[in-house]
Amino acid sequence: MKGKIFIFIGLIVLFFFGEIAISFSDKTSRNSVINDENISFALNLENSDTQFEQAVYIDKLFESFIKRYNIKGASVAITKNENLIYSKGFGMANKETGQEVQPGHLFRLASVSKLITAVAIMHMVENDIISLDDKVFGHEGILNDEIYSNYQDKRYEDIRVKQLLNHTAGWSRRNGDPLFNSDIINKRMRGSEEDDTDKLIIYELKKKLYYKPGTVYSYSNLGYAILGKIIEKKSGVAYEDYVVMNVMKPMGINDMHIGKSLYYEKFPNEVRYYEPAGSSQSLAFDGSGRMVPKSYGGNNIPLIGAAGGWLASSPEFAKFICSIDGFNNIPDFLDSTSVYTMSNPKLAGKGLYGWRGADQHGTWWRTGTFSGTSTFVLRMENGLNWVVLLNTSSYKRTRIHNKLSRTIFAASYRVKEWPDYNLFTSQENTNVYPIEKIPIINPEL
């Protein structure tokens, strides 16, 4: 009865504020009817649900971590043999309102999102919708539309899908990352009727490639934005819609979405993002010339989408990782060949497919960072998977991932006995997560 009351109250709040934590994409209504099976299990979890004696060692390490590096809030999920055995929040989801982080809070994933796009592509490959060797541009390419035909460098016709996945398509970030230069592209493409991703691709196709496709590894967010467009072209639906219906839903995941750029657009259970003290403002991505915080208006999150725009709670993303980790307790979403191709540099190439790195000990990892966000995902051969999400970017920039890695390994070695319960399936807590009231208008953000 208590659980039904909480659900009823939650639905009333959602109705009045026009925001729903479950949605398909920014092209569909967030006012859809919620039913029990569409509510994420993570919204039913509380920090107190993690109960085993040696969890105290993990607690202390992460409490020390967020204090030492001035992190406002963090969310940590751990699976052992694909059972969710640890799911806790640390610090503040929103220090202005005093709201503490709980397991159901959504965080920006940044480049960890590339794993999602890579899995969607490999799912299409398994279903013979595309091939890794398919050409991307030109008359024989997947994106052979007229709007993509105005390129001067004929080597664009040699780019293959697999080269977008492993960052060998031929681009370089020497002159900046185009996904983070939306203000410039919007000014130069003013009057164009195409959507933001198409503007980006058209703009970049006018430039020459730095390298012959397939020869040089050079990390590319642009490549993953184009993979998102390939998914749209081959499926006939929006990228987010395809991923939600064909990847997330089959995995039992209900609360992962492409995020928005501004504070007042955020999801009710999404954290607030923070930058280091003294961070400078940047030009708004929309070309308006306004100066804004980088974490709220400096980056076009929907544009970054397939490369870094997803939101997730740590326990739901842990469920996603369990579906592609090659362990046996939960059937993998992809077949074993795809799972190991993605993480094997001998098969996928140095850039891998979605993952950031892998070693000879069966450890796979993925990191992500931009203003207001740092994320870290780790798969270990001993059956442990870790997801750590932060709502604060660090003055240490990407070096924060090294600090996180050390903290994770220290905790892994400190705990000698892991519990055998599974928070993925526990029904003991039936409270719906409290929804934060979001201001309808906040012109400053």
Count CB neighbours of 402 within 10 A: 12
Domains and CATH numbers, the chain: 2-112+255-279+309-414 (3.40.710.10), 118-240 (3.40.710.10)
pLDDT of the residue at 214:
97
Side chain identity at residue 217, one-letter code? Y
Count CB neighbours of 445 within 10 A: 16
pLDDT tens sequence for the chain (445 residues): 434 333 333 333 333 233 323 222 333 322 222 335 678 999 999 999 999 999 999 999 999 999 999 999 999 999 999 999 999 999 999 999 999 999 999 999 999 999 999 999 999 999 999 999 999 999 999 999 999 999 989 999 999 999 999 999 999 988 889 898 877 777 766 656 578 899 999 999 999 999 999 999 999 999 999 999 999 999 999 999 999 999 999 999 999 999 999 999 999 999 999 999 889 999 898 888 899 999 999 999 999 999 999 999 999 999 999 999 999 999 999 999 999 999 999 999 999 999 999 999 999 999 999 999 999 999 999 999 999 999 999 877 778 999 999 999 999 999 999 999 999 997 444 444 444 544 333 334 4
pLDDT of the residue at 192:
62
pLDDT of the residue at 398:
78
- Asked if 368 contacts 236 with a C-beta cutoff of 8 angstroms, the reply is no
Q: What is the helix, strand, coil percentage profile of the chain, to 5?
A: 40, 15, 45
Provide the sign of the torsion angle of the four alpha carbons 418, 423, 427, 431, taken in this order: positive
pLDDT of the residue at 273:
98
Per DSSP, the residues of 92-113 read EEETTTTEEP-TT-BEE-GGGH
pTM metric for this prediction: 0.88
From 99, 46, 111, 110, select the one nearest 72 (Cα to Cα).
99
Residue 45 zone, left/alpha/beta (φ > 0; ψ -120 to 50; rest): beta
- Asked if 116 contacts 247 with a C-beta cutoff of 8 angstroms, the reply is yes
- CA-only gyration radius of the chain, Å: 21
